[in-house]
Each structure stands twice: as C-alpha cells, then as structure tokens.
Amino acid sequence: MLRLGSKLRLASGANFFKGTLGGARFMSSDVNLVFKIATESYIGHRIEDLPATDIEMSKTEALDMYYKMQVVRRLEMAADAAYKAKMIRGFCHLCTGQEAIPVGIEAGITRKDSVITSYRCHGFTYVRGVSASKILAELMGRADGVSKGKGGSMHMFGPNFYGGNGIVGAQVPLGAGIAFTHKYNNDGACTIALYGDGAANQGQVFEAFNLAKLWDLPVVFVCENNKYGMGTSSARAAANTEYYTRGDVIPGIKVNGMDILAVREAIKFSKEFTTSGKGPIVLEMSTYRYGGHSMSDPGSTYRTRDEIQHMRSTSDPITGFKTRLLETSHVTEDELKALEKDAKKLIDASNVEAKASPEPNVSELFTDIYADTTSIPSMRGRVVSETHYY
C-alpha cells in the first residue's frame, strides 16, 4: 500500500510521485491499468478518426491524476471559504465540478506546450506548476502571490501558462498567436486555448478560427461548455449549441468533460493532430459547474437545486474516476484515502502560508508595467501630481 508522508506532499502541480523516496518505492511495483470508456464519450465533426476508448496508463499516472483533482477541488473550497470570510475581494470564479478538464488536459500534454484560458483559471494555474500557496496568496492580494498580489483571481500565470484573462473571449486570438510562435519556431508544441460557452459567440473567436485554419496553426480550441454563460442557459443564448461544429471547416470533437480519461485521450489525440500539420481542431468539453458563475452568483436562481444535486450524484468527475480506479483491483480504498488526506493537508498548510503573507508594498504599484524601465523616466498616476519617477 502506498503511504504518503509529509515529505511526499508537493506544493505545485508537478508530478506528485517523481523525485521522492516514497514515489520511487511505489513505482518499483508499478502496474499498468486498463480502462474502457463509452464510445459516446466522443462525437466528431468533419473528422473520421476519434480518440481512443481503450486506455492504458501506469498506476502512478492514474493516482497522480486523482490526487491533482482532489487538490484542485480542495483549493476551490478554500477559496470559497476565504471569500465568504472577506479575505478575498472582487471577482472570484471557481471551477468546482470541472476538475477533470485542467487535470486531464495537463495529463495529455507536456511542459513544452502552452495553455491560455479565461478567468476560471485556478485549477490550470496549479497543474501548470504554480504552488497552491501562491495561488491562495494571490487570491488574497498578498505579496507572495503568483502575480505579487496585483492580479487576483483572474490574472494568474505560470510556466507556459498565459493566464487567466479577464476579458470574455480575448484569450482565444491570443492563443492563436501563441500557436503561431510554436509553428514559427518549429518546436513540435501546441497551444490549448480555452473559452466558455458564454464566450463562444464572440466575433474575435471566429476571427481566431479563421486565421488558425488559414495558417494551419497547432492550436486546440477548447470550449468548456458548463451549460450556463453567467446566468443564461446556452440554449437561450446560442442558435447553435453544438460548439464543436462552430469552426465550420475546422474539425471538431465533442468530449465528455466530466470523465478525466476522455479529456486526457482527446487532448493527446488533438495534440498529435495539430502538430502533424493538419491545422487546428475545436473541442467541446461538456461539463458542469456546481457553484455560481462567480462568488457573487448563488447559482440557483436560473436552475434548480435538484439539477445541481443530480449532476453531483451522477456525473462527479472525482467520484467517477475513483470508481474506475477501484474497479481495476490494482488500487485500494486505503491508497485513495491517503491521497485525499494528503490533498487536504496540502491545502490547509497552503492556506496558513497564504494568510501569513504580507500585503504588497505601495511601491509595487509602479512595477511590472514595462519589462524594462531604463529608458522610461516616469509613470503618471491618476493625476499628474501622482507621477512616479523611476
């Protein structure tokens, strides 16, 4: 049985088992797990081949994915509590219920690949390698935050992670530009550009589609369809709710976004597709958020509590993956409980660390505006009298 002590807990989304004594001991008896997912997990548009439904991976990788989903859920629970305690102010968008998407995407790519997403970005920030304590500190506006406390919930960044973007849909053309860089450098990497169903009707999304197809850019456009754009159901906002077909001549695939195995395989398939010169692809991840659009939205005025509870009880990504792991007979309940406890301890410790971080110094108001300020003598504030001289 895998026993995880305090030395095995990692503060970031790096592979949980690599580089640790416990991990080495565990991997020495590693086995491959075999899963079968439903063919209905994928629906294609202008594409003949679809991602695999027979999936094989090591036990180490499977447990790593389970652990990360637990961390992301605990992270969002901690953010929820801190917001209600007024330790987090302003906008705060949680991904509770959608954990399979950030974790599954990260499992299907490498660190060379790039990711850019919307303001529901905490889970992506973590799996890209930023520590939970830095994420929570940023949410609280503290100096030790990933953006030095100046970005908040919507503006977090990490290695080959370009945010965290506050303007609806604006990250999609930026993602196409990042993909252009990968093609220009011929580095074999791709870009995952995510947006929500609420942003899917933005004109800039279709402009990005058009250029990406004209230039056959290695970009995977991912629509996270959680069924509601703020408080409006997708059926009331869009004439065509089959978002995977929205790319017109761009191939698309609808994916069960509540199944981490389907997400992982769809991303692996799409990376191979886009980096082999075939151009972009559009994925629609069918998912569901348990909470409101943001913390200011109770999330129950435009949908019933019964609907939310039904999704929790029948489609939860963590519970579903746990059942699959136990069914392999190579994973025990005790192993999973150990991971769950470790995830809780990590977030509890990260929360304490974040709260202990000081607020940024006032002088930080004028830093990080330009990469190089050597040729810039001053920066004005709200009025001329508040001009800052470098």
pLDDT tens digits for range 80-125: 999 999 999 999 999 999 999 999 999 999 999 999 999 999 999 9
CA distance 33 to 60: 9
pLDDT of residue 15: 57
**Which tens digits make up the pLDDT trace of 278-292?**
999 999 999 999 999
| Within a domain: 265 | yes
Burial of 211 (0-12, 13-18, 19+ CB in 10 A): middle
| Within a domain: 355 | yes
CA distance 37 to 35: 7
| Within a domain: 147 | yes
| Within a domain: 322 | yes
Domain total in the chain = 1
14 has pLDDT over 80: no
56 has pLDDT over 90: yes
pLDDT of residue 9: 38
| Within a domain: 314 | yes
Closest CA to 205 of 288, 291, 284, 270: 284
List the domain range (segments joined by +) for residue 168.
6-359
For the whole model, what pTM was predicted? 0.93
The model's confidence at residue 390, banded by pLDDT at 50, 70 and 90, is: confident
Q: CA distances (Å), 317 to each of 54, 99, 364, in order?
A: 18, 7, 40
User: Phi, psi (5° rounding) for residue 243?
Assistant: -65, -25
126 has pLDDT over 70: yes
pLDDT of residue 12: 61
CA distance 243 to 381: 43
pLDDT of residue 371: 86
| Within a domain: 175 | yes
59 has pLDDT over 90: yes
Nearby residues of 75 by Cβ (< 8 Å), 6 or more positions away: 122, 123, 126, 132, 135, 136, 347, 350
H or E element at residue 179 = helix 171-185
* Dmax (CA) of the chain: 70
CATH number of the domain that residue 282 is part of: 3.40.50.970
241 has pLDDT over 70: yes
pLDDT of residue 284: 98
pLDDT of residue 18: 43
pLDDT-above-70 percentage for the chain? 93
User: What's the chain's average pLDDT?
Assistant: 93
| Within a domain: 14 | yes
Give the position of tokens 């991904």. 95
62 has pLDDT over 70: yes
**Which tens digits make up the pLDDT trace of 337-376?**
999 999 999 999 999 999 999 999 988 988 998 888 889 9
Q: 192-210: string of b/e by CB count within 10 Å (b at 16+)? A: bbbbbbbbbbbebbeebbe
| Within a domain: 210 | yes
As a whole number, mean pLDDT of residues 315-326 equals 98
